[in-house]
Amino acid sequence: MQPPDPRMKNDPNQRPGAMGTNQNWVRILFGVLLLFLVASFVWSKLAPKTPSISLSYSQFQSQIGTHKIGNAIIDNATGDITGKLKSGIPFVVSGPNPVTSQEVTAITSKHVSLSFITTSTSLLSNLLPYVFFLIVFGAVWFWMRKSAQGQMSAISSIGRSRARLYSTERPRTTFDDVAGYTGVKTEIAEVVDFLKNPGRFADIGAKIPKGILLVGPPGTGKTLIARAVAGEAGVPFLSVSGSDFMEMFVGVGASRVRDMFQTARKQAPAIVFVDEIDSIGRKRGAGLGGGHDEREQTLNQMLSEMDGFEATEGIVMIAATNRPDILDPALLRPGRFDRQVVVPLPDLDERLPILEVHCRDKRISEDVDLSIVARGTPGMSGADLANLVNEAALHAVRRSSSIIEMEDFEAARDRVLMGQRRDSLVLTDEEKERIAYHEGGHAVLAYALDNADPVHKVTILPSGMALGVTQQLPLEERHIYSREYIEDSLVVRMGGRVAEMLIYKNYSTGANNDLVSATELAHKMVREWGMSERIGPMAWGSQGMVFLGEDLMHSRDYSEDTSRVIDEEVERILREQEERAFDVLSSLSKGLKAVANALLEKETIDGDEVSRLVDQATGKVVSLNKGSVLSLKSAEPTQSIEDSQSALTANSSSTDSESG
């Protein structure tokens, strides 16, 4: 979901870019002019001049008598005589003032070219150098005073709100620009109805919620939805981040909250959107990290403004966060943010229109089937899908193609899910063979087990932090995971380690990631999901959704004996699934060798190739309808259990990798 860029018409806290550019050019031109004037004045004083000789009047008369004077100029005002000798050397003579007619006749009689000038001295010419320096000094003083005023203005405006106001040109984003999320748009549509027709609610005595909290993982389009509400309602939209209220000065946050609400009242009806509200809305007095006095004062001011003595009719607050569990209860009570709208990760039906939105301005080949791309991107958010399309475009440019083809989307998905391929990593033949058997063990078990997700791709090319990858994609939308599905997932995780033991009779460090994820999954089965007969219907785990994050510290609310039982049950589950992996791979050892040899030869094979090799090697069909998930047109792959943080809210495709 990529929002269009609305033009910001009125921003009280930022100068327009054109005005700032013009002021910069004025300063540059003034500096250049000032530098030119100073250089001209200095050059006029220090420039080298042709040297002249100074003669007394008697010497001047003697030079006239010897016919050495070329020309002469007499100043009527001062009596000074200047000119040049016939040799070209200029001279200066302090003559009598005034010059008599006999002296003029004596000069001209010797065939000297004589002329007269009258110089006048004015007050302006005498004061011109001083005026110049006064102008320079005044300009410097004015610039320093202007700078000081700007600094004082910045200090005096530090308490003003930094909310960006979109008013004259209303947000052009509407619900049509928000792909998918029909349920979210339906739930929030009554806010639009209230802003358009407040009389309907007032007649019956109903009150619209003052605050709506959008909760969801990063990248799901919470800001876009808030902008779409303002665009649908046709009202001004004030956007601010929670971190904009915090400064080093005490009281600045509360002052900015007051100023923001004052601006909103002037624009009412209006929508105020606060992004990442958890930065200022944390629980007060929460101890470690929660006792910041400035943050608490900012939160108190926001609570007061939302339901204080002054009416705030026509102002709707919309906030976004991915950590609602840490928000202060007073912020969530009725009359404030009393309505929470969960914006989850998009499912299959929503990913396709999101991909279509991001592909509007891209040159897509006709062979690209976005429905297949959508099925192959389970758990991706809107931002992830935008990144996927962009990576596909970059891959097309790298291979000098003018259009984006299906292979570009495949390469982009592999890079997003598995990381950048490490072509510089050189593996020995022995390492390649062990990795091939390791990944072959994962692939064969994923194909053979009925409840395991089918294999999409297997590769022994190093990618990201993995030396090899077995990628699985689920067949259908899953919201509840059965015990059989989880146990088969554990067996697939054990496949690489078991395959190495069957072939090489020893283990390697390549199963590190597999063991970590399997142990975490087994712990969840015992501690959170009640899948242990010895523990029974008891759960100890996080109460929130996976994207809400973990608390800083967990307190264990069970005894040491229970902890020992949990450890024993986790060990039992892992050993049982490892034994299952041994039994299945032992019976399919020929298929394992066939898959490993194919990987050594081709380096990358798909799920259809895996199923064909295993069936040919064993002489029978091991599993029906288990091949490459993207070849099953009727399938709808979605979220997978592979994300070890939480099976019920997994948001990534199944990827088993050997740690590098």
- DSSP annotation of 548 reads G
Cα separations (Å) of 34 from 43, 147, 406?
A: 14, 18, 63
Tell me the two tokens of residue 265. Answer: 């009242």
Q: Which of 144, 588, 652 is nearest to 376 (CA)?
A: 652
Strand partners, 236: none
Strands 80-85 and 90-94: antiparallel
Helix (H, G, I), strand (E, B) or coil at 400: coil
Cβ within 8 Å of residue 576, ≥6 positions away: none
Rounded-to-integer distance, Cα 226 and Cα 237, Å:
9
Question: Beta strand pairing status for 164-166 and 237-241?
Answer: antiparallel
Contact (CB, 8 A) for 49 and 91: no
Q: What is the 3-state secondary structure (H, E, C) of 192-207?
A: HHHHHCHHHHHHHCCC
Which helix (H) or strand (E) is 316 found in, with range? Answer: strand 315-321
List residues with catalytic annotation: 439
Q: Which residues pair with 93 in a beta bridge?
A: 55, 81
Strands 455-459 and 466-472: antiparallel
Residue 245 and residue 243: Cα distance in Å, rounded? 5
In sequence order, what are the residues at sequence separation of 6 or more whose Cβ sits closer than 8 angstroms to the Cβ of residue 214?
222, 225, 226, 318, 319, 320, 321, 341, 343
Amino acid code (one letter) for 161: S
Instruction: Please report the sign of the dihedral spanned by the C-alpha atoms of residue 183, residue 230, residue 224, residue 254.
Output: negative
1, 11, 601 from 350: Cα distances, Å: 10, 35, 39
One-letter amino acid for residue 381 of the chain: S
The residue written with tokens 């739930």 in the block is 187
Q: Which of 339, 393, 378 is nearest to 642 (CA)?
A: 378
Place of tokens 């100068």: 15
Residues 6+ apart with CB under 8 A from 62: none
Is 632:455 a contact under the CB 8 Å cutoff?
Answer: no
Q: How many residues does the chain have?
A: 660
* Number of helices followed by number of strands (H, E) in the chain: 20, 15
CB-CB contact of 535 with 476 (8 Å): no
**Distances in Å between the alpha carbon of 509 and those of 466, 516, 573, 644?**
12, 12, 22, 20
- Report the first-to-last Cα separation within the chain, whole angstroms: 35
Alpha helices in 474-588 (DSSP H): 483-504, 512-527, 560-587
User: Closest by alpha carbon to 12, among 234, 166, 226, 150?
Assistant: 166
